[in-house]
Amino acid sequence: MSLKEKITADLKDAMKSGDAKKRDTLRLLDSAIKNTEIEKKKRETGLSDEEIIEVVARSIKQRKDSVAQYEAGGRPELAENEKAEIEILSVYMPEQMSEEKIREAVKEIIAATGMTSKADMGKVMGQAMGKLKGQADGNVVKKIVEEELQ
């Protein structure tokens, strides 16, 4: 079963069970997937699982940004709402790597390229995010790259 089929099946289950929060979140995700298909001119063929994971990751990132904004604005009830949506969407992401594994991968990249200064951070980040795409949060990778390039 492809990732899109799983999302559609979960959406139908949420509609049948009356789970409004999950239903609404999955409808927004389905809409984002369809919009991306239109943007990439893949409406007939559909997106690959990897491309759908990118859409899910983008949706999660938007919600994390919203949580920070709501908490800064003194609206904890809205922040909780966004956190619940993040939990629903996280099911469709591949398992995230531990910090130790991310650190190992970053060290391998630094050793292979010979980059050692903070000026090389962008190059290391580019390679690291390419290698760890969908498996690691960009903020965690950035923090580890900064620590390793001191």
* pLDDT digit string, tens, across residues 85-126: 999 999 998 888 888 888 888 888 888 888 777 887 888 888
- Domain match, 11 and 51 both: yes
- Tokens describing residue 148: 């390793």
81 vs 130 pLDDT, higher one:
81
Single out the residue in 90, 110, 128 at which a domain terminates: 90
- Domain match, 70 and 135 both: no
Single out the residue in 43, 58, 90 at which a domain terminates: 90
Entry pTM: 0.76
- Domain match, 76 and 33 both: yes
CATH assignment at residue 9: 1.10.1510.10
- Domain match, 112 and 74 both: no
Nearest to 5 by CA among 26, 25, 35: 26
Give the pLDDT confidence score for residue 62 in this predicted structure. 94
Asked if 4 and 53 count as a contact pair (C-beta separation under 8 A), the reply is no
Asked if 79 and 71 count as a contact pair (C-beta separation under 8 A), the reply is yes
Distance in angstroms (rounded) separating the CA atoms of residues 86 and 67: 10
Note down the domain range covering 136.
99-148
- Domain match, 66 and 129 both: no
pLDDT, tens digit (0-9, with 9 covering 90-100), for 13-59 = 999 999 999 999 999 999 999 999 999 998 888 888 889 998 998 99
CATH assignment at residue 109: 1.10.10.410
Distance in angstroms (rounded) separating the CA atoms of residues 120 and 29: 36
- Tokens describing residue 85: 């949506």
- Tokens describing residue 100: 């130790």
- Domain match, 43 and 117 both: no
78 has pLDDT over 80: yes
Name residue, tokens 């531990």: 98
Split into its structural domains, the chain has a count of: 2
- Domain match, 18 and 51 both: yes
- Domain match, 111 and 134 both: yes
- Domain match, 10 and 84 both: yes
How far CA 14 is from CA of 22, 25, 48, 84, in Å, comes to: 6, 10, 24, 15
- Domain match, 32 and 80 both: yes
Asked if 85 and 63 count as a contact pair (C-beta separation under 8 A), the reply is yes
- Domain match, 64 and 26 both: yes
- Domain match, 12 and 76 both: yes
